[in-house]
Amino acid sequence: MVEVSDKMKNNKDSLERRFLRIIPVVIVTAIVTSLVLVNLGFLGFVPPSEYKKYAKYKLLEQSIKAEFYKKPDEKKLEEATYKGLFSGLDDVYSSYYTADEMKQLLEVATGKYVGIGFVVGADKATGAIKVESVMDNSPAKQADVRKGDLVVAVSGKKYSYMEMDIAVKNIRGPENTSVKITFLRDGKKIDKTITRKEIKIVSIESRMLEDKIGYINIKSFEEDTAKDFRKALTSLEGQGMKALIIDVRDDGGGLLTVVQDISDRILGKAVIVYTKDRQGNKNYLKSSDKEKLDLPIVVLTNGNSASASEILTGAVLDNKAGISIGETTYGKGLVQGMLKLKDGSGYKLTTAQYFTPNGSYIDKKGIKPTIEVKDKAQQLPKAIEYLKEKIKK
């Protein structure tokens, strides 16, 4: 077992507060992946070696302002400059956010936001924004928005997946106001006018299955998820639980602190994950030895189990606390840091790679299940069958 280094202890806050999430994300912005808030100022000095680069920018800006056929929006030009800088990284997880977008990002981390309640992702095959899932009891659900629908236009304006952040921003708005969205379904356009409501993200669902097998579905890793997970687990234990199924299928990720809290409850003393930056520096995140669930565990996964979901899955597997059943996970092995600037804007930037406790790098590879079951309808029954055998022994 790898021990936690002194450097890890010193940098505990910077690692533990990271926020991991993959496309698709809840209607707030295109991709949310990490959360490390820092108030930063702005540079006021440009080194001579950098002057030519900024001189060219100023020349182009002046040409636009002088020659464009209508008066440009200077604020939009400025924001586009910052966004363009990050787009040059060719990294879908790194991005600049305006003050309004940052506010929305931070709201969703609390597990509450005002919107219509569906999750979107980029459909690169068509160039469109695709509905990946629809939340239960949401305005979108009531309006019959379906998984697989393509978002063509918002309030009459067309958007591609490259403009997903802007589309999402316009889908959101004040509570009890309406937004008109044009969807494409089976080649036909469908217009829907949907009223925005406050959405409470229910991240945990649990129940007792046959033969005292507990079941906990983690839908996302939000601020209250660890607390709700502990409540669910305590309730199941009170009912005499003999084994546990943790379902992270279609869970795109969330807060790393939540992964740690859940690991504290089920793994005992164990390495959860470690990260490595460009300089080769490693930081280890470890669960405490105060609690451990000494019961057979199965983690259910599929191709949409990503980021924080994969970290929990890897921690369970590599520490031999249980097995996984289902399909290979998404494969996101990159860590982002998010910083908030003094004017309220901010950015997220991929800063490191992460590895499972045994050193597996899963980016674009995913985690293969211990037992592969491609048919979603058969994954839970297979987990129950496996655990029944374990209980008998």
What share of the chain has pLDDT > 90, as a percent? 61
pLDDT digits (tens, 9 = 90+) for 156-180: 999 888 777 778 878 988 899 999 9
With contact defined as beta carbons under 8 Å apart, do 297 and 27 qualify? no
Report how far residue 268's alpha carbon sits from residue 287's, in angstroms, rounded to the nearest whole number.
6
Position 110 scores a pLDDT of 66
Domains of the chain, earliest start first? 1-96+202-393 (3.90.226.10), 112-200 (2.30.42.10)
With contact defined as beta carbons under 8 Å apart, do 22 and 33 qualify? yes
Which 3 state secondary structure label does DSSP give 250?
coil
Pick the range with the lowest mean pLDDT from 55-59, 185-189, 272-276: 55-59
With contact defined as beta carbons under 8 Å apart, do 104 and 28 qualify? yes
Which 3 state secondary structure label does DSSP give 5?
coil
With contact defined as beta carbons under 8 Å apart, do 183 and 134 qualify? no
Cβ neighbours around 331 below 10 Å, total: 18
Query: What DSSP assignment string belongs to 362-381?
Result: -TTT----SEE---HHHHHH
Mean residue pLDDT of the chain comes to 85
Position 89 scores a pLDDT of 93
Position 338 scores a pLDDT of 85
Q: Does residue 73 register a pLDDT over 50?
A: yes
Report how far residue 148's alpha carbon sits from residue 154's, in angstroms, rounded to the nearest whole number.
17
Tell me the average pLDDT across 109-113. Answer: 69
Position 46 scores a pLDDT of 63
Pick the range with the lowest mean pLDDT from 105-109, 169-173, 265-269: 105-109
Position 114 scores a pLDDT of 86
Report how far residue 360's alpha carbon sits from residue 351's, in angstroms, rounded to the nearest whole number.
18
Q: How confident is the model at residue 36 (pLDDT cuts 50, 70, 90)?
A: very low
Give whichever of 20-34, 101-115, 265-279 has the largest mean pLDDT: 265-279
Name the more confident of 253 and 238: 238
Cβ neighbours around 77 below 10 Å, total: 14
Tell me the average pLDDT across 372-386. Answer: 97
Q: How far is CA 244 from CA 59, 65, 170, 214, 297, in A?
A: 63, 63, 41, 5, 5
Position 343 scores a pLDDT of 93
Report how far residue 191's alpha carbon sits from residue 131's, in angstroms, rounded to the nearest whole number.
15
Report how far residue 185's alpha carbon sits from residue 169's, in angstroms, rounded to the nearest whole number.
22
Sign of CA dihedral 326, 332, 337, 343: negative
pLDDT digits (tens, 9 = 90+) for 292-337: 999 999 999 999 899 999 999 999 999 999 999 999 999 999 988 8
Tell me the average pLDDT across 142-148. Answer: 93
Q: Does residue 86 register a pLDDT over 80?
A: yes
Report how far residue 150's alpha carbon sits from residue 192's, in angstroms, rounded to the nearest whole number.
13
CA atoms within 13 A on the CB side of 69: 0
Position 177 scores a pLDDT of 96
Helix axis angle, 225-238 to 256-266, nearest 10°: 20
Position 27 scores a pLDDT of 32
Token pair belonging to 101? 């977008």
With contact defined as beta carbons under 8 Å apart, do 220 and 201 qualify? yes
Report residue 297: phi and psi, to 5°. -125, 140
With contact defined as beta carbons under 8 Å apart, do 303 and 272 qualify? no
Position 104 scores a pLDDT of 75
Position 20 scores a pLDDT of 54
Position 290 scores a pLDDT of 81
Q: Does residue 74 register a pLDDT over 70?
A: yes
pLDDT digits (tens, 9 = 90+) for 180-233: 999 999 999 999 999 999 887 788 999 999 999 999 999 989 888 999 999 999
Helix (H) or strand (E) holding 183: strand 178-185
Q: In the chain, how long is the greatest CA-to-CA distance?
A: 80
Report how far residue 387's alpha carbon sits from residue 16's, in angstroms, rounded to the nearest whole number.
32
Tell me the average pLDDT across 74-90. Answer: 92
Q: How far is CA 354 from CA 112, 260, 305, in A?
A: 28, 15, 16
- pTM for this predicted structure: 0.76
- Which neighbouring-strand residues pair with 189? 184
Give whichever of 252-256, 310-314, 330-334, 339-343 has the largest mean pLDDT: 310-314
Report how far residue 336's alpha carbon sits from residue 256's, in angstroms, rounded to the nearest whole number.
11
Cβ neighbours around 57 below 10 Å, total: 11
Query: Catalytic amino acids?
Result: 307, 332, 336
Among residues 141, 179, 175, the alpha carbon closest in space to that of 159 is found at 179
Sequence-separated (6 or more) residues with CB below 8 Å from residue 210 = 384
Position 16 scores a pLDDT of 37
pLDDT digits (tens, 9 = 90+) for 281-293: 999 999 988 889 9
Q: What are the percentages of helix, strand and coil residues in the chain, rounded to 5?
A: 30, 30, 35
